[in-house]
Chain A
Amino acid sequence: EDQVTQSPEALRLQEGESSSLNCSYTVSGLRGLFWYRQDPGKGPEFLFTLYSAGEEKEKERLKATLTKKESFLHITAPKPEDSATYLCAVQVLYNFNKFYFGSGTKLNVKP
């Protein structure tokens, strides 16, 4: 059965305290793994797409990496404005290229 699991469910960090969020998946035929940021009551904001194991993408304080079984979103020296829920989604070869979302990690960065 296809599964996408994100951990931890919630994460509290002090400003400047680096950490990583995890997205593990058990799917066949991965076509892409996508990271999104979602603020309360708003639509998800696209961050990164990763296509193959070993790939890395960076944007400001965020860096996403991909292995054959999981992806990490590394947050370096976070600021309070990085507080949000981070969602990962996997797209599989079969089933009309639908996105399968994880449940998200709620990040809270305290000043």
Chain B
Amino acid sequence: DTEVTQTPKHLVMGMTNKKSLKCEQHMGHRAMYWYKQKAKKPPELMFVYSYEKLSINESVPSRFSPECPNSSLLNLHLHALQPEDSALYLCASSQDQGAGYEQYFGPGTRLTVT
């Protein structure tokens, strides 16, 4: 089973709201990723967790706050977002952050900021 699940599927939030995106995998993978994807563009890396520790932060604004409660779960907390943050947010996982491991993506959360 190579399934990564994400909730919610769709989210509409105002610029003053606080919300969270959730991601889960049960493949025993030790690396988990958040990507942002705008229409007709490739995924853009935001954060990487390796063995539940933040490994990469791609200079993402602080209104995005990642959390990895355990090896199966990854959250992305959202606060005071801007309309330009509207995008498809993808979670992915891989066996390890090391070289050669493919990443498996979830279905994404479509976020609209009004």
Residue numbers of A with Cβ under 8 A of B are 31-32, 34, 36, 41-46, 49, 51, 87, 89, 91, 93, 96-99, 101-104
Question: Does the CB pair B41–A96 fall under 8 Å?
Answer: no
CA A103 – CA B44 in complex, angstroms? 11
Distance from B90 Cβ to chain A, minimum over Cβ atoms (Å): 5
Q: How many A-B residue pairs have CB under 8 A?
A: 58
Distance from A105 Cβ to chain B, minimum over Cβ atoms (Å): 11
CA A7 – CA B55 in complex, angstroms? 32
18 A-B residue pairs with CB within 8 Å: A31-B100, A32-B102, A34-B102, A34-B103, A41-B108, A42-B108, A43-B4, A44-B90, A46-B2, A87-B42, A91-B100, A96-B97, A97-B99, A98-B45, A99-B45, A101-B43, A103-B42, A104-B42
Chain B residues positioned under 8 Å from A96 (CB to CB): 48, 55-56, 97
Question: Does the CB pair A32–B56 fall under 8 Å?
Answer: no
CA A101 – CA B107 in complex, angstroms? 18
Distance from A85 Cβ to chain B, minimum over Cβ atoms (Å): 9
Residue numbers of B with Cβ under 8 A of A are 2, 4, 6, 41-43, 45, 48, 55-56, 88, 90, 92, 97-108, 110
Distance from A58 Cβ to chain B, minimum over Cβ atoms (Å): 16
Question: Does the CB pair A43–B42 fall under 8 Å?
Answer: no
> Which one of A97, A99, A101, A102 has the highest number of Cβ atoms from chain B below 10 Å of its Cβ?
A97
Distance from B99 Cβ to chain A, minimum over Cβ atoms (Å): 4
CA A97 – CA B94 in complex, angstroms? 12
Chain A residues positioned under 8 Å from B106 (CB to CB): 43
Chain B residues positioned under 8 Å from A49 (CB to CB): 100, 102
Chain A residues positioned under 8 Å from B110 (CB to CB): 41
Question: Does the CB pair B55–A41 fall under 8 Å?
Answer: no
**Which residue in chain B gives the minimum CB-CB distance to A96?**
B56
